[in-house]
Structure 1
Amino acid sequence: MQATGSSHALALRRADFPTLKEALDYAAQGTTGVNFYNARGEVYASSTYADLQQDAIALARRLLGLGLEPGARVALVAETSLHFVRFFWACQYAGLVPVPLPATMHIGGHAGYVAQLRGLIENCGASVAMAPAEWMPFLEEAKADIDLTFVGTPEDYDELVSASQDLPEIAPDSIAYIQYTSGSTRFPRGVVIDQATVLANIQDMSTHGLKMTPEDRFGSWLPFYHDMGLVAFIMMPMATQRSVDFLGTQDFAMRPRKWLEMMSANRTTITSGPPFGYDLAAMRVRPSDAEKWDLSALRVACVGAEMINPEPLQRFAEALAPAGFKSTAFLPCYGMAECSLGISFAGLDEELKIDYVDAENMQHENVAEPLNPEAALKEKRRVARYVDCGALLPSFDIAIRDEDGNDLPERRAGVVHLRGPSVMSRYFREEAMTRETLSADGWLNTGDIGYMADGRLFVTGRKKDMIIIHGRNIWPEDLEYIAKTQPGVNYTDAAAFSVPSEKDQQETAVLVVQCRERDEIKRARLVKTIASLVRSEYGIDCIIELVPTRTLPRTSSGKLARARARLDFLGRRRAAGVEVKPEAIDTAPVDHDRAPIRNIA
């Protein structure tokens, strides 16, 4: 099967459309499209945007034949396949709301995955659901006792009778999709993105962040249920009439070299991934491989989705230099689903820029005092380093604020607040959470910690409370819930967060649990049980630390202060001279007479 070409006579338009449907109508006048590669590096499915438009319209009529109301939610298990893309665009023509569901399950995670699907289907109030045949058993199990109009495989939907009515008019302020921001089974958060909202972001990114040209071609392995995979590689290529090549996420994990081969063969110019993805690929590259590939066309390799650590990028650049890869192709960026996707981009054709600051000053005073790393080493001063995430896209306003909402000057770290046309309208069916996050005048509290310097954004901490392990979003409430299911652990006794390993700076999950038990055998059993449950449900290792009661810090209103709990944990580790290791499971000694640790943040 032949992949679609990279260019055509159709004039480049950078997402200047009122709706996604109209963007596809324009792209369908050209010859570019989407291509899917298997683990052997072969194209197994391909469609021009012209064919995709016709398929989507036909499927939209069949969906409407089910009698669905305008704005009804369509739950889609987002496997990397042409089926998902076809359904996503069919929803745009039918006036329905696609809701991507994860298509990933970790070892021992059958029950957890089914619970996750069920929670998301219930939360979004889906009317129908679709899964490819291999995922259908999980969907069938998840939807038990949920009243859905129709559930089936893509082939089942293709057998439906088409509606006789005309396709509806789509308004720019109608919902384009709902994006769930985490893999949470118990606390799902659905970001509502309107048509005009996502198109404004794509226009901003393609014009100012990526500076796209008529010669650009996309290549990706990112999952479709992730905001970067969905917006940057399904919507953006179509809205700018570019071809895009996909390798399945699981195929990438098993054979990351196929991603590089695919980009070499297609002269890919734009790709993206988290640092661990570049690192995984670099580890599998042999010098003889790199010499056979040609990555000289790759002008943009976006880096996002987690805190940016420069070492993996340096390893990738060194390993792929014989293939013509240029380190200046790396483009650090900052984004989040609540802003559609992109927020800030470093400069094109620039080397990574790192800000070295006094770590003690940052930790205790939230001041990013610049340091010369060599001089700091001689003076035995601890250095923190942060990668430059670049200037904000022009449509965004930014404010760095302290805990009381006061604006902070340059080089003072605080909570990043944003405002602009790309910001979500709300969280789905979560009025209280929306009010907490989005002010009446449009300011979004991102929960991320950062500072501005010379007009550039430096992100110093994760989105508030979010745990990100190898690109996977895990809400701390889910890990804490596991601890709280154990006998003797009360509702307020657990705090979850992540910390970097001292060895390789990869993130490690931590659960600090207040424990009243004195018996060492029972304490060890509690640690082992919690760690085993976390591994079974989420497929990750987790450090479990047992601490005395009244150890976990609280805010003045009594809420758990996870950021301060994290600093306290790191302080205890440094004082004890213990290295943080992903596989470590530690039990702190109980001292029932010990006073609570003083907050240091």
Structure 2
Amino acid sequence: MNELVSTPTRDDLERRFSDFDTLGGALDYAASGVRGLNFHDMRGKLARPYPYRDLREDALAAARRLIAAGVKPKDRVALIAETGADFAALFFGAIYAGAWPVPLPLPTSFGGRDHYVDQLSVQLKSCDPAILLYPAELGEMAGAAADLCGFKSISWEDFAGAAESSDPLPEAGPDDIAYLQYSSGSTRFPHGVAVSHKAVLSNLAAHGHGMKLEPADRCVSWLPWYHDMGLVGCFLSPVANQVSTDYLKTEDFARRPLAWLDMISAADGTVLSYSPTFGYDICARRIGSQSKVSERFNLARWRVAGNGADMIRPDVMQAFTDAFAPAGFNSKSFLPSYGLAEATLAVSIMPPGEGIVVELVEETELSGESGEDGRPKRFRSIVNCGKPVLGMEVEIRSDSGEVLPERSVGKVWCRGSSVMEGYFRDEEATDACMVGGWLDTGDMGYVSAGYVYIVGRAKDMIIINGKNHWPQDIEWAVEQLAGFKAGDIAAFAITTPGGEETPAVLVQCRTSDDAERARLRDAIREKVRSVIGMNCVVELVPPRTLPRTSSGKLSRAKARNLYLSGEIQPYSIAA
């Protein structure tokens, strides 16, 4: 039996930085070279090399099957976004057929069958697809969601045997919509972001130039393809910028996170690999006290260690560096970035080689207060998220829309060639965030010397008695107590029975001893009081209770809703 061989890192094909009219044109060009996608098993062993020429051939066949099945240009094709060759071919098959692929999430580890069927149903109703295609192992749940909504569905294994049309394929133009992307928090009220070919290729060009792609670069990724950072940054970007890529499924990363670092160590060439903060955190924690990381890993060729999709934690980045420096990891490889689906992906990227740059900002500057209340000054570390990417402008504005000067905290607005056309069939939501071509990102931040600093989500701000408090500050304070880690805590505002606004903190607790729970609750209450100067409601909840978005981020808004509705039941602790 012949040993499988990955697609090459280097190629004689001249690199083009996404300067194509359509995504189909980008794949046509990549297919004339020797690079491609490579799928690995849960231990990081190569399971299937998939050259771009094979992807193109399979995608064209999928396009002819979609047309034979009655799919027309501008129809939506819903796809369960499992990382693998089938999804890749179907995604580009929809592109070649002139339809709009719509990546939809896989089941998560929480919520169970009913939650997943409900989530799929909501997004299916939103995108109104001509067909839903799914892997056979998810047939029961995906089929149930499609039946519930009255949509046609078929497994991609069965679809592979369907008839093909002989009709000519339609030709797309740069201004045509390429695909719909649901933002990671889109569950109950989904917002499908309509992304044109021109917008995505503009962002992919900015991505390639921003990372200063080199001939020996190779991408390694475990990020899910239903999230913009995984889909755009680690699937479409490698195609449009002709980069060979190695994939570990997201669920396999969750089981064996260090397999990600094994794949980076084994990669042929210099490595580009992205992760939200929690991915670096998991690896640093998992390696634990193992002192011989240099014997297992070789991270010296990791050129770009990207970080985005959530608030970037400098303490986690330092812990990762401390753990893996003996394996050759260079902290200057860290490349913070900022983006969102409504801007296709990237808004700002740190220039390669500058690493993590932190500013200490006094908390009253972040909350817009005067700082004259007599309390000791407290500072928060804010990470530099780089400079606006090619073709993107960033402004910081007040609530009234006034453009603020440098180092003034306000709402982050952006404008550029990769900003979305709008939300699919939701003019009201589009008008609420788009004004004159400018996008209100919903994030708070400031600009300093041309660099973008992100402070937090505007909608997550806790406002009590006219004072602003960031939930991250409360959550990070609790994390300093022994036994808690990132993701264990959710802070938000609630209204007490007496009609007063107060902070509430939900904390996942792993002890079953009632006395210890009472001690922890009191310690948390005191810790929070020391940070924000006021009492709060502290509720201890079982492990794995706090909800997350499809990309793995804590969803404070959903945690608040579940808590207020009684679906999250705290432990009962004796007074």
How do residues 150-549 of structure 1 correspond to structure 2 at under 5 angstroms?
150-207=152-209, 209-267=210-268, 268-285=270-287, 286-365=290-369, 380-439=376-435, 441-462=436-457, 464-465=459-460, 499-504=474-479, 506=486, 508-510=489-491, 512-514=493-495, 516=497
Looking at structure 2, the residues matched to 271 and 581 of structure 1 have their Cα atoms a distance apart, in angstroms, of 37
Cα deviation code 1:76-110 (max 9, x no counterpart) = 11111211111111111111111011113223422
**1:37–1:105: structure 2 CA closer, same or farther, 3 Å change rule?**
same
Amino acid across the alignment from 1:43: L
Correspondence list, 1:558-597, <5 A: 574-576=532-534, 583=541
Change over 3 Å in CA distance of 1:5–1:110 after alignment to 2: same
Distance 1:570 1:430, change over 3 A: farther
- Structure 1 residue 512: deviation in Å? 4.3
Task: Rate the CA distance shift 1:582–1:6 in 2: closer, same or farther, 3 A.
Answer: farther
In structure 1, the residue matched to 2:63 is 60
Give the number of equivalent residue pairs: 502
What CA distance in whole angstroms lies between the structure 1 residues aligned with 2:211 and 2:232? 14
Structure 2: gaps of 5 or more residues: 463-469, 481-485, 509-520, 522-526, 546-558, 561-575
AA aligned opposite 2:234: F
The C-alpha deviation readout for 1:378-431, integer Å capped at 9, x for no partner, is x94211220111111131122111011111111111101111101000001110
Closer, same or farther in 2 for the Cα pair 1:309/1:186, shift >3 Å?
Answer: same
Secondary structure of the 1:112 match is: helix
SS of the residue aligned with 1:501? helix
- SS in structure 2 of the partner of residue 39 of structure 1: coil
> Quick one: percent identity of the two aligned structures?
39
Q: Which amino acid aligns with 2:53?
A: A
Calculate the TM-score normalised by the size of structure 1: 0.78
- CA displacement 1:41-87 (0-9 Å, x = unmatched): 22112210011101100111001001112111011111112111111
Cα distance per residue 1:182-226 (max 9 Å; x no partner) = 34332001111000100001101211x201012110000000001
- Measured after TM superposition, the shift of residue 497 of structure 1 is 7.0
The amino acid across from 1:146 in the alignment is: C
Aligned-residue Cα RMSD (Å) equals 3.0
Q: Indicate whether 1:142 and 2:122 are aligned.
A: no
Using the TM superposition, name which of 357-366 and 273-282 deviates more. Answer: 357-366
Distance in 2 (CA, whole Å) between partners of 1:241 and 1:203 is: 11
Following superposition, the deviation at residue 454 of structure 1 comes to 1.1
For 2:240 and 2:535, how far apart are their aligned partners in 1? 53
After TM superposition, give the deviation of residue 142 of structure 1 in Å: 0.8
Question: How far is the alpha carbon of 1:279 from its aligned partner?
Answer: 1.0
In the alignment, the residues of structure 2 paired with residue 531 and residue 501 of structure 1 have an alpha-carbon distance, to the nearest angstrom, of 12
CA contact (8 A) 2:299 2:327 kept: yes
Q: Which amino acid aligns with 1:362?
A: L
SS at match of 1:500: helix
Q: Which moved more, 1:356-365 or 1:308-317?
A: 356-365
Quick one: structure 1 residues 292 and 571, their matched pair in 2 at CA, closer, same or farther if it must change by over 3 Å? closer
One-letter amino acid matched to 2:169? L
Q: Structure 1 regions of 5+ residues with no counterpart?
A: 368-378, 468-495, 519-526, 533-544, 546-568, 588-601
Partner Cα distance (1:194, 1:320) in 2:
40
Q: Following TM superposition, by how much is the alpha carbon of 1:323 offset from its aligned partner in structure 2, in angstroms?
A: 1.6
